[in-house]
Amino acid sequence: MKIETPYYLIDEKKILKNLKKIDYLKRFANVKVVLALKCFSTWSVFPLIREYLDGTTSSSLYETRLGYEKFGKETHAYCVGYKKEEIKEIKKYATKIIFNSISQLKRFFNEIKDKELGIRINPKVSYSHYDLADPARKFSRLGVIDKEKLKEVINLIKGAMFHFNCENDDFENFSKNLDYISEEYKDIISSLDWVSLGGGIYFTKKNYPLKDFAKKLKLFSKQFKLQVYLEPGESVITETAELVTKVVDITHNQIDIAIVDASTEAHMLDLLIYRTPAKINTSINAKYKYMIAGRSCLAGDIFGVYNFNKKLKVGDIIKIQDAAGYTMVKKNWFNGLQMPSIVVKRLNGNIEVVRKFTYEDYLYSLS
C-alpha cells in the first residue's frame, strides 16, 4: 500500500507488547493505570489500549472530554489552573478532579464536592534529565509544598498525586524517592483512599526491573491501605511508531544535507525543545554521512547527523523511530507545511489511513 509521505505509522502489535507489561504490573501489584493524554491522544487506537488500561488522565478541559468520549472508564481531570467557566463542564466528564493548589481546591470545592477530589503534592524530589521538565525545579508551580497547609484541607480530598518523574528508567532512584515520600508524607497519605504516582517512569523499557517495580508498588499500597495509580504516557507507546518521510533534496555545505518532507518544528517538536537527535536506524560505521534536515525555514530544523550504507537520493524513504509520544499532540501548522497523515498498522496486519490533513484543516485552524 503506497501512502503519501509524511505520515506517522503506529503499530498496534508494538503497543500490545507494552500493554502486556502493564497488564502484568496491574495483576501483580494491584495498581490501576490511566493513559496520560498529554503524551498520546490518538484515539483511533484507544479500543486496543482500553482493554488493558483503567482510563485516562488529562491536563485540560478538552483532554478530559476526549478521555470521557473516546476512551471511557475512569476519567481523571487535572490542570495547573482551572478557569471558573470550565469547572461545570469538567464535572460532567471527570470521575476524579485533581487540583494543583489549595487555593483552587477551596475556590471550586462547593461546585464539585460530590466528585472524588485530589491535590497535587510537590515532594521537592524528582528525576529529570532536563530542567525544563523537572517538576521539582526551583520556583516550580507544580503542586503544593507546605505540609501543614495540606493537613488543613485533608478532609476535602480523597487522594493525592505525586508526579515527580520524567523519563526515569532508574529503578533505584524511583525506589529511593518513593521511600522518602512515604516517610515525609506518611501522616497525609495515611488519610487518603488513593495516591497517583504520576507518569514519567520508563517501566516498559527493555531490561527495566519490572518485578522489583511491582513489588515496590505493592508494598507501598499495603503500607498505607490505598489504591495506587500510575499515569504513563511514554511507557504505553514507546517504540511503537515512526514518522515516515521522503528525501526531497540533497545539498552540501561542508557536509551532505538530505532535506526531507517533514520538520522538527512542526512534527517532532520535542526534538527541538530538548535539543535531542531523532532516532534513525543507521550504523555509525557506515560510509556515507548526511545531516537529515527538515524543510521549514527554521535554520535549526535538523533531525541529526547519521551514517548510511549507501548514498541517499531524492525519493529515498527516511523513517524516524519512536515517534508516538509528544508528537501528534504537538504537531502544528508552522510554515503551512503539509501535516503528516496518521496511519495505523492493526493487529491483523492491515494498514489503515485513519486521518489525512488537507488545506482546509490548515485554513480553519486560523481565521
Same domain? For 225 and 308 the reply is no
Measured between alpha carbons, how far is 322 from 317 in angstroms, rounded to an integer?
16
What are the pLDDT digits (tens) for 187-200? 999 999 999 999 99
| Rounded Cα–Cα distance for residues 208 and 86 (Å) | 40
d(CA 154, CA 166) in angstroms, rounded, equals 27
Helix 102-112 × helix 84-93 angle, to 10°: 60
In 3D space, the residue among 161, 122, 162, 160 whose CA is nearest the CA of residue 138 turns out to be: 122
Same domain, 290 and 144: no
**And the C-alpha cell for 276?**
535531542
Do both 39 and 187 map to the same domain? yes
Helices (H), the chain: 12-29, 46-50, 61-66, 84-93, 102-112, 147-152, 171-184, 186-189, 210-224, 234-237, 264-267, 269-273, 359-364
Question: How does the average pLDDT of the chain come out, rounded?
Answer: 97
Whether residue 274 is found in the same domain as residue 195: no
Does one domain contain both 101 and 149? yes
Ordered DSSP codes for 147-160: HHHHHHTGGG-SEE
- Residue 245 forms part of a structural domain: yes
In a domain, 330, yes or no: yes
- Per DSSP bridges, beta strands 341-345 and 7-11 are parallel
Domain boundary among 237, 253, 273: 237
- With 80 as the cut, is the pLDDT of residue 6 above it? yes
Residue 4 lies in a domain: no
State how far the Cα of 156 lies from the Cα of 106, in Å rounded to an integer.
Answer: 9
Which pLDDT tens digit goes with each residue over 114-149? Answer: 999 999 999 999 999 999 999 999 999 999 999 999
Domains identified in the chain, total number: 2
In tens, the pLDDT along 252-308 reads 999 999 999 999 999 999 999 999 999 999 988 899 999 999 999 999 999 999 999
Domain harbouring 302, CATH code: 2.40.37.10
3-state SS, residue 260: strand
Grid coordinates of 266: 512542526
Name every residue whose Cβ is closer than 8 Å to that of residue 81 and which is 6 or more positions away in sequence. 100, 104
- For the entire predicted model, the pTM comes to 0.95
Structural domain that includes position 357: 240-364
| Sequence letter at residue 363 | L
- Both 231 and 102 in one domain: the answer is yes
